[in-house]
Amino acid sequence: MPFRHPDRSHDLDTRIGLEVRERLEEAIDFVCLEALVNARRAAGRPAPVADSAADRADYQTHVAAFLRLLTAEVGGGTASARTAAGGDAEAQMLAAQVTLARTVPDYWQQFEALSARYLAEPSASGSEGRGLLARLFGRG
């Protein structure tokens, strides 16, 4: 896959970081969109549409939940300390995941296993079904 970032003036390390971030964003998008569609299907609701603010909000809820799950479980939870400093929590969690993807040897295997588990759970959007902590600890 060719480097698609418009600014090619960065050094190789920065370009690799941008590529990893793009790959990670695409993978998270795929998991969260599939989770949203599955939740809608299971609830007998219509498929999400791109121009619906409510559907975008449901999708964003999945992104936030999946990022929290990744932060808690991938890389031994080392990313969680970096996200506590303040600012946009989702952006910090994503940045921490980029770092983990570049440094943890089996990161993508862990990501895939966690993605499969997240998609297998009978969870709808954050406003329906069990909460994140209940899913993490097997309650609810």
pLDDT of res. 1: 46
Neighbours of 125 (CB within 10 A): 22
pTM listed for this prediction: 0.73
Q: Widest CA span of the chain, in angstroms?
A: 51
The pLDDT value recorded for residue 77 is 58
pLDDT for 13: 85
Extract long-range pairs of 126-129: CB within 8 Å, 24+ residues apart.
126/58, 126/61, 126/62, 126/64, 126/65, 127/58, 127/61, 128/39, 128/43, 129/39
Instruction: Write the CB contacts of 23 (distance below 8 Å, at least 6 apart in sequence).
Output: 101
Please, what are the averages of pLDDT over each run of 10 residues along the chain (140 residues)?
A: 58 88 96 93 89 91 94 70 60 93 94 95 51 47
Grouping H, G, I as helix, E, B as strand and the rest as coil, residue 3 is coil
